[in-house]
Structure 1
Amino acid sequence: MAQVNTCLKRIFTIFNLFFAIVGGVIILLALLSQFFTSANGGENLEGRTSGLIVLYVAGIVTLVISILGAYGAHKESRVCLIVFLVCMVIGCLLMLRVGVPIAFARPELKGWMEEKLRSVLPLDKASDNVKNTADGLQAGLHCCGLFSYQDWEDNIPDSRLCSSQEEEEMCQAVGYRMLLRETRVYSRPCFPIIMHYILLVVDVMLGIFFTMAALALLGMILSSIMIHQMNSGSRPTMMLTVPTIFSTPPPKYQELHNPPPY
């Protein structure tokens, strides 16, 4: 078996070391998420269980594949490298399978979100769950209504009222038919802020998916080169002989005569 190029082995080892770090970080995030969930008394644990399982599985699989690739490069094991190559092919296809539809759906996300949110207006007549969610967004983002303060009609929740300590440019004075005094509310609607964070999360997800796909493609290339080098050294050497059809025939034997005695 031919020896794999030393520089290629080092590059491949560094590549798998990076993959192992990524797997460890994913597992660490899952542990931290589980810890904070338990610290909060296990609230909404049922909805987070599937997410934790996905994180644990992704981290463990990434860690195992990186160890497999590093071991295969160190021991020059063709079987381990072939398994690593198959895992990289599957991983690259999965990342593209998820990332490409998200990339095509991103331009239409804003219109889809706007249509869904407008269907719950007016907010003062929406369900309690929608009202509580809107109140939390307004208090946290310092905004008023989804698209304007008129989304609440004449019912003003405390979450969108400006305090006396708010900056002047963040507030506006509005009047209502049912109120005898002027009220100051946040001037910014919540929908643009919500969309900013949603698109930011989508862009981060796209960056992760396509980066992982590119890394998987790089792993495919490196492992393929190493397997090719091993296969090249394991092929039997073939002896080539020159055909004798056009070769010059040897000279005929000549009869030797003893010289006559004198």
Structure 2
Amino acid sequence: MSQIHPGLKRVFTIFNIFFAIIGGLIIGLALIAQIVTNVEGQSMEDRTVGLIALYVFGAITMVVAGLGAYGACKEKKAALIAFLVCMVIGSLVMLRVAIPTAIARPELEDLLESKFQRFVPLTEAPEEVKNMANTLQSQMHCCGLFSYEDWRQDIPESCECDPAQSESESECRKVDYSALMLSKTIYSRPCFPILMKYILMVADITLGVVLTLAVFALLGLTLSSIMIHQMRYPDRPPVLLTVPAVFGMPPPKYQELHNTPPY
């Protein structure tokens, strides 16, 4: 005889299938990121840790989901206890990441702005910072971190804008940038506001994903705890909560006793 309620078992199985799909999506995201990186010919050294973390997290998610589904279908208490422990650890880790991230979110823009201000002027910045700025300018169609004046009198070619190929008339602007009154047509927008827009979007998405996973971990914790309780006490009858009808009920009827005469 099954010790776990069939409806609860079905809900828990669906939950673990969805949980496994999330793990597969995380692995797929890591694979896409790796392919895109290889196509662009960029170095993998700075991305290895992040890719490995995504692969490991996705694999652990799928393994834990399989463990929970197996424990529910076969009614294995040890598997459900292991799943419960994983859910407790997962919920604590997710909340540990989500709460500081949510607190630091309003201060992120000011923090990054102060950090990028250290690189100005770009003509005196380290070579890796210049390469980063040139890459941003080429890909995002912008010039300078906060203004084209960040380059002083040495505006690079990555800032140059072709009006014939620009998407709008306001994308390009003509500036005089040297004592010889040389002029260039450059991108009108600075890079930092564009970069900040993407950083905040990624931060919001990450925060939403972490909070969602924390909610799912708490839900899995609750469902597995109920099933373990049912397996521990299989013969315990269900407790029915009834509200006593006190108000509006007539008093109990009593039988009046009479002394019957002797014969």
TM-score tier, shorter chain, comes to 0.7 to 0.9
2:206 is matched with which residue?
205
Q: Quick one: distance in 2 between partners of 1:225 and 1:117?
A: 51
2:184 is matched with which residue?
183
Relative to structure 2, which stretch is displaced further, 79-88 or 177-186?
A: 177-186
List aligned pairs for 1:216-235, cutoff 5 A. 216-233=217-234
Say whether residues 1:53 and 2:52 are aligned partners: yes
Report the CA distance shift for 1:138/1:45 in structure 2 as closer, same or farther (over 3 A): closer
2:97 is matched with which residue?
98
Shift of 1:178: 2.0
Q: Quick one: distance in 1 between partners of 2:94 and 2:177?
A: 52
> Which residue type is aligned with residue 12 of structure 1?
F
Query: Unaligned regions of 5+ residues in structure 2, if any?
Result: 238-263
What's the TM-score once normalised by structure 2's chain length?
0.82
> Which residue type is aligned with residue 18 of structure 2?
F
Report the CA distance shift for 1:88/1:37 in structure 2 as closer, same or farther (over 3 A): same
1:79 is matched with which residue?
78
1:253 is matched with which residue?
none
Q: Secondary structure at the match of 1:188?
A: coil
Compute the RMSD of aligned alpha carbons.
Answer: 2.2
Deviations 1:39-86 (A, max 9, x none): 677x53333332232222212211111111101111122221111111
2:22 is matched with which residue?
22
1:239 is matched with which residue?
none
Q: Quick one: distance in 2 between partners of 1:94 and 1:231?
A: 28
> Which residue type is aligned with residue 214 of structure 1?
V
* Identical pairs, percent: 55
Shift of 1:174: 1.8
Q: Quick one: distance in 2 between partners of 1:117 and 1:36?
A: 27
Q: Quick one: distance in 2 between partners of 1:45 and 1:18?
A: 31
Q: How many residues align?
A: 235
What's the TM-score once normalised by structure 1's chain length?
0.82
Say whether residues 1:108 and 2:114 are aligned partners: no
Report the CA distance shift for 1:234/1:48 in structure 2 as closer, same or farther (over 3 A): farther
Larger Cα-atom Rg: 1
Q: Quick one: distance in 1 between partners of 2:200 and 2:36?
A: 26
More RCO (CA 8 Å, sep 6+): 1
1:193 is matched with which residue?
194
Report the CA distance shift for 1:222/1:53 in structure 2 as closer, same or farther (over 3 A): same
> Which residue type is aligned with residue 94 of structure 1?
V
Q: Quick one: distance in 1 between partners of 2:162 and 2:212?
A: 45
> Which residue type is aligned with residue 223 of structure 2?
L
Q: Quick one: distance in 2 between partners of 1:50 and 1:123?
A: 29
1:254 is matched with which residue?
none
Q: Quick one: distance in 2 between partners of 1:17 and 1:206?
A: 23
> Which residue type is aligned with residue 200 of structure 2?
L
2:129 is matched with which residue?
130
